[in-house]
Amino acid sequence: MEGSAFVTLASGKTDSDGRCTNLLAAEPRLEAGTYKVIFNTGEYFEKDERDTFYPVVEIIFHLAKPDEHYHIPLLLSPWSYTTYRGS
């Protein structure tokens, strides 16, 4: 986040396990701050010809210690989602 606006750092697609393992390369190094990850969930459900109530899920989170490992799981169904800081 720069000022009050978010800046795109990377984009990618999840693999068959639902992970985006190479989303951020070693550079640029993340700094402490507030970030947002956007999941285009509508595309995921459309490929299986299923409806969804949440076509986009945005998760805003704060990195206090950017050198730590961060894992942000998104548990998703067509009608609900949940997220948490994983290990």
Give a yes or no: residue 77 inside a domain: yes
Q: Is the dihedral of CA 14, 54, 8, 24 positive or negative?
A: negative
Give a yes or no: residue 14 inside a domain: no
Give a yes or no: residue 44 inside a domain: yes
- How many domains, the chain? 1
CATH at residue 51: 2.60.40.180
Question: What is the DSSP track for 16-72?
Answer: TTS--TTSS-SSSPP-SEEEEEEE-HHHHHHTTT---S-S-EEEEEEES-TTS--B-
Domain encompassing residue 71: 33-83
Give a yes or no: residue 6 inside a domain: no
> Going residue by residue through the chain (87 aa), what tens digit of pLDDT does each one get?
777 899 888 888 888 888 888 787 666 678 899 999 999 999 999 999 999 999 999 999 999 998 888 889 999 999 999 999 987
Give a yes or no: residue 20 inside a domain: no
